Amino acid sequence: MLNFIIPFVILILVVVFIHEYGHYYFAKKYGVGVTDFSIGFGKEIFGWNDKSGTRWKICWIPLGGYVKFFGDRNVFSQSDQEELLKKYNKDEQHKLFVTKPLYQRSLIVAGGPLANFILAIFIFLFIYMFVGKDFTPAVINEIQKDSPAEVAGLQKNDIILEIDNTKVESILEVSKLIIMSTSEYIDFKVIRYDQKILLKVKPILVESEDNLGNKINKRMIGIKLSPYNNKINHVKLGPAQALIQSINEVYFVTVSSLKYLGSMITGSGDSSQLGGPIRIAKISGQVAEFGIVPFISMMAYISISLGLINLFPIPLLDGGHLMFYAFEKILGRPLSQKTQEGFFRIGMFLLLSLMFFATFNDLKDLGLF
């Protein structure tokens, strides 16, 4: 059990700390007072005060964190803001979050998700510079009889150039692109005898196991691959190229995640693969056994997910606050307290529903349902 718990706690602590530090950085940049910087919820385990009066603390429940601003409260209307300002003198008012211009408040809120994307970029940058990136071209070595690939017209010795308009730079990317596709047909661009050919393949869903032995529903087309000329091309990149590749990877994962969530909403996606803390803990423990590089790679993907989810326009999340600020910009004033409270109830229902569904999938994954 500790093999799962310790890597999970390390992963969550790092990703959450970076997220909250993004809020903290922009708050300090614009002169907002920060009273608490907490990793985890519940009772404090230990902590300390810095010179500016911020209480840095670690709490018992390591499933999130928060940054609390000076005079922090839910300020729903302009009249509420005016009542709040009466409680503080001129110097203290400058430290209040609510007194800051709209663009500064927006950057403070968006700072958390932004920090998560930056963390992922730096992790991939480190890996590509010091470990390397695979650039081995993917050649089809075998086509299974009567498989979707054979029906579509793929052939042995075809070199895969693109999948769904995404350039295939490595043999390792083929499986990932097939699995993460959400459309009914997958577009393949291959080169055959110096001729480029476009083919549409309709994948099938097969119950399989991932590299860690976990059961998954996997999209498959029935091909086996081999390296081009049987040579592996693994290259350590320079800083500029590594940065470009890192940004591309973060962009690809973000877009693919949005497509996957969109497919679940429309009912065409496989919702059984949506997991929560239990599944993350299980997988992080398994990945940690393979070494530091797979573990920090997973940390990058979790960081992207946390940043992306927090940008959803759901009250209680960062994206919900940004949505309110957008309304404030359009209307010239904040939404009324009653309207915002209504949005918060909807947001709470959506988040609880998502947590329940993800936890149900986790328990089903453990064989408890």
Interatomic CA distance for residues 273 and 309, integer angstroms = 16
Q: How far is CA 193 from CA 136, 197, 275, 281, 292, in A?
A: 19, 10, 44, 47, 41
Angle between helices 277-288 and 292-310 (to 10 degrees): 160
E strand segments, the chain: 34-49, 55-69, 133-134, 138-143, 159-163, 166-167, 186-192, 195-201, 204-209, 215-220, 223-227, 234-235
Told to judge if 20 belongs to the known catalytic residues of this protein, a careful annotator would answer yes
Ranges of beta strands (E only) in 261-301 are: none
Q: Are 159 and 193 in contact (CB under 8 A)?
A: no
Angle subtended at Cα 14 by Cα 12 and Cα 19, rounded to the nearest 5 degrees: 90
The partner residues of 199 in beta bridges, in order of sequence, read: 188
Task: Name the DSSP letter for residue 272.
Answer: G
3-state secondary structure of 218: strand
18, 64 contact by CB (below 8 A): no
Annotated catalytic residues are 20
